[in-house]
Amino acid sequence: MNAICVDDEELILARTVSLVKKTEKFDKVESFSEPSEAIAYLDKTAVDLALLDIDMPQMGGLELANNLKKKNPDIKIIFLTGYSEYAVDAYAMHATGYLLKPVGFDKLQSEIEYALSSGIQASAASAEASIQSSPKVKVETFGYFNILVGDRLVVFKRNKAKELIACLVDRRGQYVSRKDVFYILWEDDDYDRAKQKYLDTIIRSLKDTLEEYGISEIFESESGMMRVVPEKFDCDLYRFLDNDEAAIASFRGEYMSSYSWASETEGYLTDRE
């Protein structure tokens, strides 16, 4: 197996290469301070793992990751950065790992092992998919909440519409009343007529987005009650609760990190590990 490390800071780059070699998992570990050179390298060499700095002057790590995946969709990406605010964008890129600098060997080794194991699991899943069909909709709850249709990230026009369906995913198919949804999303706010109309707007926005992506079947609402339809999508949370080994291994201690109401489920998952 081969790995590449890309960072515009030479000393950090040298240390990263040294740590990656120390894992003794790769036949070759190459370093690049210029992102364009890393992209060109993939034209002649198969690369299994890329460790990328996010904040680089000529081409940022997120853009570089996108270019690398165009050349090799199966390449695993681990971002190394000093800026935690990039985490949302990194996981939207389907990063396998995300580490804050300075990086310690134990954490790096753990992320690399996870990246390589997820590659094995993905290959097995691909083989199984040729035998039986799988849901086209994927819901990610570990780390940050996202919905994907194939490899396409669903982008919501309103943040509260995204939080609404995240809340329903957390309820695992149970019907939830409009009023209960409101108090989960807005906590101590007053459920007055104006807020009820605003909730109508949020629900309509959610339906419009799901319709736009052709996945309206994952959401149901009737008589003031609403829910997701678990049979219509694949979800890491649900597989974890069904004792799926791959899902359990993918849980890194974080669940729907953007939402405070998700902390109860996060604690439950952590206790079950």
pLDDT for 251 equals: 92
β-bridge partners, 2: 28
The whole-model pTM stands at: 0.54
CATH number belonging to the domain at 2-129, selected among 3.40.50.300, 3.40.50.2300, 2.30.130.10, 3.40.190.10: 3.40.50.2300
Q: How far apart are CA 173 and CA 189, in angstroms?
A: 25
Tell me: the pLDDT tens digits for 121-130? 444 344 344 3
Domain parsing of the chain, residue ranges: 2-129, 137-272
Indicate the DSSP class of residue 142: B
Return the SS3 of 68.
helix
What pLDDT was estimated at residue 84? 53
Residues of the chain with pLDDT under 50: 86-94, 119-135
Dist CA 126 CA 123 (whole Å): 5
Write the pLDDT tens digit of every residue in 68-115.
989 998 899 988 877 555 444 444 444 566 777 888 898 888 888 888
CA gyration radius for the chain?
A: 21
What's residue 61's pLDDT? 86
The CATH number corresponding to 137-272 among 3.40.190.170, 3.40.50.300, 3.40.50.20, 1.10.10.10 equals 1.10.10.10
Q: What is the predicted pLDDT for the residue at 96?
A: 65
> How far is Cα of residue 133 from the mean position of the Cα atoms in its chain?
22
